[in-house]
Amino acid sequence: MLGKGSFGTFMATSRNPDSFPPPEMAVKFAPVQFSHTLRSEKEIMSNLNGCPNLIQCLGEETTVGGDGSALFYNLMLELATGGTLSDRSSSGGLPEPEMRSHTRSILVGLDHIHSHAYVHCDIKPDNILLVPDGENSFTVKISDFGLAKRETVGPGKWQGTLMYLPPKAITKGLQEAAWDVWAEGCVVGEMLTGRPLWKPGKEEEILRRIGGDWEYLRIQKCV
């Protein structure tokens, strides 16, 4: 098992090497009756397929559980064996050339997402995966489209990971492309320092800081 999230469970799997999808891939699965979000994610990823800086959707299938009593919806995804950007940068930050390269790759992915009128809504180091493309070399790819939505102009409820939300998301609930760009700025700061841009604290306190109660603003030093 690779992990477990709000919308499904991840596992790595192997198949016949002559089959499609490829012999090694990641599978995100959930019971059929709870698979609405995964099905929505599949539709979004299929619409976005083709960008080298996005994890690719390889297909879907429904299978029977081991005891034969339950049906599972399986979303088949490209496997990233290099871990996450969070893993890569947590030991004290990245060298500037590597940080620049990863930043450029993430922005290419975001441009592709935004050009199709979607907002990812959860850009963070844990959702940036590394796919090996040579010795000590990686292609950076955006993953996890479970919260992705069409861009909206009206108010709504904020969603995503609090430490990477922009002020507008909290005060107005707007889902805009700029939302992802703000989050990417937070990711860049984390790549440089190896720690979150915003000082950890209680949710209410962080909401005040990001939402504009500047009396409480305390951004950690980045240099």
Contact assessment for residue 106 and residue 51, using Cβ atoms and an 8 Å cutoff: no
Same structural domain, 94 and 131: yes
Confidence of residue 118 (pLDDT cuts 50, 70, 90): very high
Q: Is the pLDDT of residue 130 over 50?
A: yes
Contact assessment for residue 166 and residue 179, using Cβ atoms and an 8 Å cutoff: yes
State the pLDDT at residue 213: 55
Task: Tell me what the pLDDT averaged over the chain comes to.
Answer: 84
Same structural domain, 96 and 154: yes
Catalytic positions: 122
Of 48, 77, 106, the domain-final residue: 77
Same structural domain, 102 and 211: yes
Question: Which comes out higher in pLDDT, residue 150 or 152?
Answer: 150
Structure tokens at 87: 């893993």
User: Could you tell me the pTM of the whole model?
Assistant: 0.83
- Read off the amino acid at residue 43: E
Structural domain containing residue 17: 3-77
State the pLDDT at residue 13: 59
In a domain, 223, yes or no: no
Of 46, 77, 108, the domain-final residue: 77
In a domain, 222, yes or no: no
Same structural domain, 14 and 122: no
Structure tokens at 72: 């599972």
